[in-house]
Amino acid sequence: MKLFDCTTYHNEDLILEARFNILNKHFDKFIVCEAKFTHSGKEKKLNFNIKKFNEFKKKIIYLVQDNEPSDLSPDNKLNKRSNAIKRVACQRNKLAEGLSNADSNDLIFYSDNDEIPDLKNVNLETINKKIIIFEQKLFYYKFNLYLDRIHWYGTRALRKKNLRTFELLREIKPKKYSFYRIDTLFNEKKFIDLHVVKNGGWHFTRILSPQEIHSRELETEHSDEYLESKKDSKKIEDLIRRKVIDHDHLADKRENKFGEEFDLKPYPVKHLPDYIENNQIKYKNYLDLE
């Protein structure tokens, strides 16, 4: 049984390089897809450079999403979010083209680039469920600034024979439903046959400079929310300095998620991936070591 790590890419070389080093011993192939358009619809140059990752060159399958989705709605404020979601789905689903040499029983993993599964203590051979979802810790700005308000359900895995699309895999709810829940027969987002891996890794979000975070936020599927928050790189720099975020993950989707602040807590570096713990000098600008 081979393992395939599948992820999307924009220009996040720092986190991608860490990802390859952390996961290299577990995976047979890394499939990376980059799009020629941002989630907000702006045409962009391709940033991926295989020469930066020569150590992993034989494992990497690099794909390019050339075109916009065919079902975009008229580009106005009302349709901005739905079009962004379609672009994200299109880029994710492109990853399937990298699986031509995968066997039906090989395990296919999907993560956003900054979601890294912890496989150190997971015996995948003993998990016989159709869907595997990894419950991960959420970090902001630095590898060891921890937000303890929620668990993050990022990385998902399944056998190739059970993969329909990567977007559907991403949308599966991180909950094992009762056998008696008849609605699971008609809802492709709800599963009975599901396993959640506790302590399943790390979601390292916004491990970037304040200016890079600002630029990235303007291009994501949530750029409309970010624009309404009236934030800029100076505001982000202040949040990092004070070790807080102003994004409420638990807010209702219809509510404004920005405004209230939540503290980030120091997290022991020894409980981070070994590669980060062993390269603290290299990552000194992205660790809170005070």
Task: Look up residue 34 and give its two tokens.
Answer: 């980059």
d(CA 167, CA 183): 20
Q: Where in the chain is the domain with CATH 3.90.550?
A: 3-204
Task: List phi, psi (to 5°) of 214.
Answer: -60, -50
Give the C-alpha separation, 142 to 140, whole Å.
6
Q: Tell me: domain 3-204, CATH 3.90.550, correct?
A: yes
CA atoms within 13 A on the CB side of 133: 21
The token duo for 184 is: 């699971």
pLDDT, residue 253, reads 58
Per-residue pLDDT of the chain (290 residues; tens, 9 = 90+): 999 999 999 999 999 999 999 999 999 999 999 999 998 888 999 999 999 999 999 999 999 999 999 888 887 767 888 898 999 999 999 999 999 999 999 999 999 999 999 999 999 999 999 999 999 999 999 999 999 999 999 999 999 999 999 999 999 888 665 554 555 544 566 767 899 999 999 999 999 999 988 888 877 777 777 777 778 899 999 999 999 999 888 776 556 566 789 999 999 999 999 999 999 999 999 999 87
Question: Is this model's pTM higher than 0.85 or not?
Answer: yes
The C-alpha atoms of residue 267 and residue 148 are separated, in whole angstroms, by 10
**Helix (H), strand (E) at residue 32:** strand 29-35
Q: What tokens does 214 get?
A: 């600002």
In this predicted structure, what is the pLDDT of residue 188? 64
Give the 3-state secondary structure of residue 135: strand
The whole-angstrom separation of Cα 182 and Cα 40 is: 38
Cα–Cα distance for residue pair 84/42, rounded to 1 Å = 11
